[in-house]
Structure 1
């Protein structure tokens, strides 16, 4: 994320994506396949692995003679392994990929074209934004399995001890950047020296989550043409100055920068921070580990609200020798009942228009999930187009280096934005 502890022009994953309409089935055309073996590689949290195993068992039960070999690997090994296997011609038939990385594979013809296997009626069962997230040049390469977004979790006792008791619960009353900074400063004065006001979840592959601050400032990473850098702007300066202040003011642990090795939720459950920006998919882990009362608040807002485009697609490789079976399995995984069951078990959000997230019986802390559901509505189409760019992966590598230099090594905002602009030009060839 583990789901990248991290959606293309997907973002009507907002109200439209979360509205309830009729419940048409996405059934894959019946059980025509009588035998065959599929290999399926994914990373997974504990709750995700259990949900995947149950769905694999159901698929096998519905398809006599079919076997799905599930291989669960750590997230930090996932794509290194997939890249090597693709090069060697030994890639799994099916694998999981976050929306931010999907374009790297679809733009290089490494994924199965799903066009022959889905009808217009079936495509219409997904939010347009999420279907676009798995498409490249209008061609679908996979299925949008689920989404997750970040919100702000808070240790209610630590905030109360600092006198912070009037907590926002909806987007309408979300803290502004100034109000969030005031809360952080108040906590800094109240907490012990080894406890920090908050932590942000941009570690270990999550660097693109920094873009939430840029979008909140109403800025862009790329212009509408998808290749021209747009980050060196007033909004870019505002977002970078603000996030640099997290470290300058001692509001976040010094080891929690973009190259840090500890996830944000770990800082939170260990009570070394009072607040943490985390995705909904880690709610089960936090509830199991946190020995204190906590709740969820909306992300802060500046010019507008925004959050990260989290979640993952399921894709088949173009080299699979079982394309029909692979496509049938992908479609099975995103049938309405199956998607609802997976999201309920993992505290993640659906990608279909016929599933109302508020109707899902989330397994863990259903009281906090409305905050995440409403937070998803802040994602705008322009955000999605940038976050699913095929150039995002190489840009993210440079972004990690430049943000680390700004946050930890004192590199100026102007130099950081200039260097990011150069890196974007190199990645996009603009």
Structure 2
């Protein structure tokens, strides 16, 4: 049994360097500052993609062939190293992509998992897994329709029909179709080989290319709420962890040695190509933001509402009014919106047919105006909201709630 070395990093920056600085002498490694100065990034596209690029898959036999998976714009392919791109996943059931992988034994076999696995405020969901056997020209739906979000796909190094899928599952609540799935027949049937509970899904999986019986998987316990500006209802929990199998996924054991002992969140893997026994794991924990040397037994710091000390994006300390869908009014006098029933604005008498013209005497004619005002407000404050209702001016006093990371 080979030993898998696990390294965890609580915060990291990834650096790709393509050349030794021109001024450096041969055999003399440049300092970090000099190396960074020599890195020049060039935008490769695709130029008309929608949302974030969440995954890349490169054909090892033809490195100029690259697949780029986007959060809400489907899958793009280049065969000339990024000079031109073509959309190859436009007519399937979902254009939100969470994972893409090429079969090592046959790069024309492409597996796609739909449903972005970045559980943020603008995430989309998918309808399962698709497979192409002609390099993305045609696709076949391969199941797992109710997995919602898929974090990663790992394909057997010699068998393109043996595939592991890390299904994160429904973000807003429990569902049974989550965890690590395996197929041995190209997606005709699936086995749930690693399952924690209905609140915990799988977010990453890797296979040792030199010994495919060795498989690592990461589970992730998280639940979104109506805001989720990275302060969701649940960001980490006991379900998150690293699991190892030494028999191709038949049995699993949880890995704990050398890992954080506090609650963990999202976990990502990277195998060292020259020695796949070495695995790097990027681990989010409940101690994110703690400085080195903080006592491990100390309670996690809690953010407190404080007047006049909101962050740029509000955070939990920002004031929450309870409106959505903001846009300038047709007459240009203010902004219109939808009022969230039961929210602070609703309780204060504001309705969706109203037009807000001022907040605390400050004119608001665009959504940006409103955001600028709210950056200086905190939950618990009472604000004066000037509105037009049926053409008549009216002033309402509304006590702000506390923002859960997003929304106004």
TM norm. shorter chain > 0.5: no
Structure having the higher helix fraction is 1
Higher Rg of the two aligned structures: 2
The two structures have a TM-score, normalised by structure 2, of 0.24
Structure having the higher strand fraction is 2
Greater RCO between the two (CA within 8 Å, min separation 6)? 1
The two structures have a TM-score, normalised by structure 1, of 0.23
